[in-house]
Chains A and B, each alone.
Chain A
Amino acid sequence: MNTPTVEPVAVVTDVAVARPSRIARLRSSLGPAGTAAAIFLIVVLLIAIAAPLIAPYDPDAQSLLSAFAGPSGAHLLGTDDLGRDILSRLVYGSRTSLLGPALVVAVALLVGIPLALIAAWYGGAVDAIVARIFDLVYALPGLLLAVLAVALFGPGLMPAVVALSIAYIPFLARIVRAAARQQRVSPYVDALAVQGFGVTRIMVRHILRNIGPVVLGQAAIAFGYALLDLASLSFLGLAVQAPTADWGVMVSDSNALMQGYWLPVLAPGVLIVLCVLSLTVLGARISGERPQPYLRMRRATRARVGTGAHSSTTPTGATP
């Protein structure tokens, strides 16, 4: 230790360099399914942003002469009953279909996180009141609330979004509160208080940061549900209105014509399903859920039986 040799330093720097890159670490923590889901969602997001550049046609341009066209070179996914290009409508539809749930999750987080953190920090009566309010709102079905809002304010995206936002607050805030309560009693919180930091800073910069993955994961799952809920409402004609391109609206428009002519219904439907699935998978991975514990267990058991040792439980690839 005392002899100043060069070697230990070299070893140390090697370890530092050997740390995998940010992307590689992200990939390994998301797993194959999570990575695929993330890539799919990024692609959808990019398409939504760059819709005018990607869509081959105006999504609302009608051409009754070319209605009900099948897939062709001109219309890759064919046209609908009014001769509108289905691909273009899907591309533009991604905008409203993603904007709605994004608003719902954003509002629910903005309202829910502060309430949840305050409840977790102060505990006692404050916590009891806030938690009971969460329970109360949680008991209200979101779709029903949205239908009520539409009945009061008329159909449209905004009333539906506002109603769903309220309904989604407890879905997110309950998780935040539970995770924050766990952090609240950690000794490091006391230590921070003694360093002279205020309540807000400890809550936001330390507690919220530490529970970030849980919040983000739950937000992703909520995004998927909100997407599905808004698509349902649009399908029912309560949220996004007919001429506008929206996946839910598209399923609804072509629903009556589905017999023998399935593409206009199936294409937006498949996109909805894929988005919700990806968000759920990604959300679970972000919040640290391990996929397929059953399969893992079986594989581990098999390995143990095969070698007669606990080799499967030792981490592989770890640097000595």
Chain B
Amino acid sequence: MAGAESYPEDLKYHPEHDWARVEGDEAVLGITWWAQDALGELVHFEAPAVGGLTVKDEAYGEVESVKAVSDVVSPLSGEILEVNEKAIDEPESINDDPYGEGWLIRIRLSDPTEVNDLLDVEAYRAVVAEQ
């Protein structure tokens, strides 16, 4: 099961419990520790197709635990460059390492200014504290 609660400083966050690691005009996306903990042990990642588009604030996939399913909301708009096959084959890796081996997709940003709308770690921690 997952490690201790953590929210890395270098990530940008979406209030729907998603994170983005922005690297130039690309970003890696995933779900936060809080999201995986709320869902419990994940058993399925319904991934989007490579080449498709994500739209900021809209769902691009689903993560599912034994008991519940949740949309994964994209924090940023872009073209999907890569999907993490390990997250599909071993969904528990999303629980074990939500910011590392359990990343979900990599995108090329269509509007890098959207990054300015995202939360920094302190603002996201405040969102979590209200849950």
Q: Do A and B assemble together? A: no
Which B residues lie at the A interface, using CB under 8 A?
Answer: none
Which A residues lie at the B interface, using CB under 8 A?
Answer: none
